[in-house]
Amino acid sequence: MDFQIAAFLAVDGIANGAIYVLIALGTVLIFSVTRVLFVPFGDIAAFSALTLAMIQLGRLPGTVLLLVLLASIALALELVSLARHRKWRAMPWAVLYYGILPTLPALAAWLLLGATLAVGWQMLLALALVLPIAPLLDRIAFRPLADASVLVLLIVSVAVHFAISGLALLFFGPEGFRTEPLTRAMFDIGGIPVGAQTVLMVAAAAAFSGLLYLYFETTISGKALRATASNRVGARIVGIRPGRTGTFAYLLASLLGGVSGLLIGPVTTLYYDSGFLIGLKAFVGAVMGGLTSYPLTALGAVVIGLLESYASFFSSQLKETLVFASLIPILIWRSVSSLQVEEEEEDIS
Amino acid sequence: MSALLEIRDLSVSYGKVEAVRNVSLEIDEGQIVTIIGANGAGKTTMLAALMGLLPSQGRVSYQGRTLDDVDVEDRVAAGLCLVPERRELFADMSVEDNILLGGYTYRHNKALMRESFEIVYDRFPRLRERRRQVVGTLSGGERQMLAIGRALMARPRLLMLDEPSLGLAPLIVREIFRIIASLRDLGVSILLVEQNARAALETADVGYVLETGEFSLSGKASDLLHDPRVAETYLGGHT
């Protein structure tokens, strides 16, 4: 392998890594705030790409039906729960948040069916259609189990993934899709050809990571999310509702997942079940951050992207194996380094 | 005038085990009331139930309104605040952020936020010095101050303190009790739960003794301090 090939693989790996960064950050965000390891998160990314593909083909994306379905179930659950606690005054808000807001993008998609839209608007519509899915799934599947153990939540999460990818097969069919690229421009950096799409992926990952950091550090709602992740009881006794911050975490993470889907759509052929593998690889990156540290998670995701890229050069059959096998050294390293943290904590208290 | 907090026949159970049985208690505006008792008497359970963190039976009314169907977050907004035994701070965040989040229920009122920050920092100059530090680096006493400061930031009318002296050095304990007594000036009523019976009774107006989930004694704190039954069990036998 000469320098030229190594550099080419590095560019490819960083582009993949940028996608994994967005998805891994979303995974950590949801996990730390809600304790749910949200397995269908990769599906959310695939959904946004496939929804965009449908819009570009001039078909009504199945996501519309999914949104209406999920919103009706979530609204019914919420109304029953409010009625049981005799909170009649909260009902109009429930109708707004669970009934009207999530179905607005669906209505827009239906009205705009067949209209010719600029690519930017198509992407925005696809993103808007994907954003409410995870918060609604949270209300339906996870909120009633808020006090369950992490393991129970994980099992439910796997079940939700199978349900969602089954629905994806129904809505999008078994064939793969590619979306229209935003740009086909190529740059030449030191003799290495770099696609503008690659630059876009890396820039988006950097921009969203930066925005996430600013949000957590400077806004009170970002700090409330961190507080919920840090100590749920502590958050409740200052008046932060973990359920509500959870919904917000799902929305924010969906934005990251949706954007990453829009970015890979033009460079990879995506199928109804492609999201799972993407999510799983991002998860390996997130494990490197111990599912708590955002900077380490981002670093881990880039490492996974690079590893995958080089592994596919040496042995394309073993590339997935190599990526997932890397979990073992990562876990050993994590357990060695977190052991010290636990000892420190004991010292203090 | 009706009491700020009125508890009638409160019971709390874990499954079939009743940890608190039919206790009744009243707290008037501006009063410091203490509940003393040994480990496992049900003190923490009782406070968790009053905060809405645990389900309970019986009647609890706060400011004349029943607390049935009022969740934890709405109780905080109404000025009913808890400083829990385990403090439950946000360990990986700064001192200032912890205090800031104490004011979460009125987060859009920036002027009130600034005013409350001053109140907290004036009471706890040490917290002002350490405001950029991460909670993990604070000493036990500083953490307790931060827990009280965060609760004060919520602008409580009734502050419930669970074992504020637990695990602290005697000098710090004295300091904490001095601060608790001084909270009266802010118009805050206090429900203080303590194992350190002497310090608690010296600070409070009214005291209750909780034994295996029931009140065995109650009365003016100064009377309880000289009551032989209290002295024998909780004050080490001599007054």
How far CA A238 is from CA of A233, A261, A304, in Å, comes to 9, 37, 39
Between A40-49, A86-95, A335-344, B146-155, the lowest mean confidence (pLDDT) is in: A335-344
ipTM: 0.91
Does residue A342 have a pLDDT over 80? no
CA atoms within 13 A on the CB side of B159: 28
pLDDT reported for residue A115: 81
pLDDT reported for residue A347: 41
| Cα distance between residue B35 and residue B44, in whole Å | 10
Between A32-41, A184-193, B33-42, B220-229, the lowest mean confidence (pLDDT) is in: A184-193
User: Do the Cβ atoms of A237 and B84 come within 8 Å?
Assistant: yes
Percent of chain A at pLDDT > 90 equals 70
Confidence of residue A341 (pLDDT cuts 50, 70, 90): low
Contact residues, chain B, for A238 at CB < 8 Å: 76, 101-102, 104-105, 150, 153-154
**Which amino acid is residue B9, in one-letter code?**
D
As to burial, measured by CB atoms within 10 angstroms (0-12 exposed, 13-18 middle, 19+ buried), residue A23 is buried
Between A8-22, A112-126, A213-227, A332-346, the lowest mean confidence (pLDDT) is in: A332-346
Domain ranges for chain B, please list them.
57-194, 205-239
- Looking at residues A122-136, what average pLDDT do you find? 95
| Cα distance between residue B46 and residue B67, in whole Å | 14
Does residue A301 have a pLDDT over 90? yes
Backbone phi, then psi, for A29, in 5-degree steps? -60, -50
Interface membership of B114 toward A (CB under 8 Å): no
pLDDT reported for residue A317: 86
Question: Strand runs (DSSP E) across chain B, as ranges?
Answer: 5-14, 17-27, 32-36, 57-62, 65-66, 80-83, 158-162, 189-194, 206-211, 214-220
Confidence of residue A339 (pLDDT cuts 50, 70, 90): low
User: Do the Cβ atoms of B69 and A85 come within 8 Å?
Assistant: yes
pLDDT reported for residue B145: 94
Does residue A344 have a pLDDT over 80? no
Does residue A64 have a pLDDT over 90? yes
pLDDT reported for residue B15: 83
| Cα distance between residue A30 and residue A316, in whole Å | 32
Does residue A349 have a pLDDT over 50? no
| Cα distance between residue B233 and residue B237, in whole Å | 7
* Low pLDDT (below 70) residues in chain B: 1, 237-239
Interface membership of B106 toward A (CB under 8 Å): no
Buried b (16+ CB within 10 A) or exposed e, A83-99: eeeeeeeeeeebeebbb
pLDDT reported for residue B107: 94
pLDDT reported for residue B1: 55
Q: Residue B179: enclosing H or E segment and its boundaries?
A: helix B170-182
- Looking at residues A195-200, what average pLDDT do you find? 89
As a residue count, chain A comes to: 349
pLDDT reported for residue A343: 46
| Cα distance between residue B230 and residue B209, in whole Å | 8
User: Do the Cβ atoms of B150 and A238 come within 8 Å?
Assistant: yes
Region of residue B34 (phi > 0: left; psi between -120 and 50: alpha; otherwise: beta): beta
Contact residues, chain A, for B96 at CB < 8 Å: none
pLDDT reported for residue B238: 47
Contact residues, chain A, for B88 at CB < 8 Å: 231, 233-234, 237
Class of domain B57-194: alpha beta
3-state secondary structure of B60: strand
* Residue B104 tokens, joined: 């979460």
For B68, which residue in chain A has the nearest alpha carbon? A85
pLDDT tens column, B78-137: 999 999 999 999 999 999 999 999 999 999 999 999 999 999 999 999 999 999 999 999
| Cα distance between residue B121 and residue B114, in whole Å | 11
| Cα distance between residue A68 and residue A80, in whole Å | 18
How far CA B35 is from CA of B43, B67, B99, B202, in Å, comes to 7, 21, 27, 12
Confidence of residue A256 (pLDDT cuts 50, 70, 90): very high
pLDDT reported for residue A345: 46
The residue among B158, B155, B130, B156 whose CA lies nearest residue B145 is B130
Contact residues, chain A, for B76 at CB < 8 Å: 237-239
Q: Residues of B numbered 70-99 whose beta carbons fall under 8 angstroms of chain A's beta carbons: which are they?
A: 72-73, 76-77, 81-82, 84, 86-93, 97
Q: Any idea of the CA torsion for A186, A201, A163, A27, to the nearest 10 degrees?
A: 160
- Pairing verdict, β B206-211 and B189-194: unpaired
Q: What is the mean pLDDT of chain A?
A: 90
pLDDT reported for residue B77: 94
For B113, which residue in chain A has the nearest alpha carbon? A220
Does residue A123 have a pLDDT over 90? yes
User: Do the Cβ atoms of B154 and A239 come within 8 Å?
Assistant: yes
| Cα distance between residue A61 and residue B25, in whole Å | 61
pLDDT reported for residue A340: 58
pLDDT tens column, A85-94: 888 888 999 9
**Which residues are within 8 A (CB) of A310 and not within 5 positions of it... i.e. 6 or more apart?**
A9, A13
Could you tell me if A67 and A105 are in contact, meaning their C-beta atoms sit under 8 angstroms apart?
A: yes
The residue among B91, B82, B62, B65 whose CA lies nearest residue B152 is B82
* Numbered residues of chain A with Cβ closer than 8 Å to any chain B Cβ: 85-87, 220, 223-224, 226-227, 230-231, 233-241, 348
Contact residues, chain A, for B155 at CB < 8 Å: none
In angstroms, the separation between the Cα of residue A241 and the nearest Cα of chain B is 7
